[in-house]
């Protein structure tokens, strides 16, 4: 069964905090606090990219649970992008940008670039032990 939310935000800086708060409220039910922190930081990078590199007036964030995975999709209305190679690598040491995708990849269990770069999917797995202990107390 799928549960979660989908929300449309303006392509404005404050939307990053709004999206992070919404993800905390929903995914906090499914993840340990460390995993949730990782997910939320990754979502902040994806939303920042949609704001900075996207186009149009809005972006859409969906957060849902699909079996043992928590999935956040950040969709924008821009031109998208393609990776130059198969891997997302650390930028050169003196680089002032190019960290966001690398950070997402290191915090998430998976990062998928969908819709030709207009949608970033961030996946975090639900730890089995957490799920069992959580269900025990409900």
Nearest to 129 by CA among 31, 14, 16: 31
In sequence order, what are the beta bridge partners of 112? 121
49 contacts ligand ATP (rule: CB under 6 A) = yes
User: Any idea what DSSP says for residue 55?
Assistant: -
Q: Does the footprint of Mg ion cover residue 49 (CB under 5 A)?
A: yes
Tokens of 122: 């961030």
100 binds Mg ion (CB under 5 A): yes
Rounding to the nearest 10 degrees, give the CA dihedral for residues 109, 25, 10, 47. Answer: -20
Containing H/E element for 112?
A: strand 110-114
* Residue 117 contact partner, candidates ligand ATP, Mg ion, none, CB within 5 to 8 A by sort of partner: ligand ATP
Residues 67-86 that bind ligand ATP (CB under 6 A): 76, 78, 80-81
Residues in contact with ligand ATP, counted by CB under 6 A, come to a total of 16
Q: Find the residue with minimal CB distance to Mg ion.
A: 100
Binding site for ligand ATP (CB under 6 A): 45, 49-50, 52-54, 76, 78, 80-81, 97-101, 117
Site residues, Mg ion (CB under 5 A): 49, 100
């Amino acid at each position: 069964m799928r549960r979660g939310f989908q929300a449309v935000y303006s392509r404005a800086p404050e939307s990053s905090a709004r999206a992070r708060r919404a993800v905390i409220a929903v995914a906090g039910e499914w993840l340990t606090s460390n995993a949730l922190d990782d997910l939320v930081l990754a979502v902040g990078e994806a939303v920042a990219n949609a704001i900075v590199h996207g186009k149009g007036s809005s972006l859409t964030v969906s957060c849902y649970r699909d079996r043992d995975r928590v999935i956040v999709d950040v969709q924008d209305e821009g031109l998208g992008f393609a990776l130059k190679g198969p891997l997302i690598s650390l930028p050169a040491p003196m680089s002032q940008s190019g960290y966001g995708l690398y950070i997402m990849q290191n915090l998430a269990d998976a990062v998928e670039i969908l819709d030709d770069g207009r949608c970033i999917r961030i996946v975090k797995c639900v730890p089995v032990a957490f799920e069992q202990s959580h269900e025990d107390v409900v």
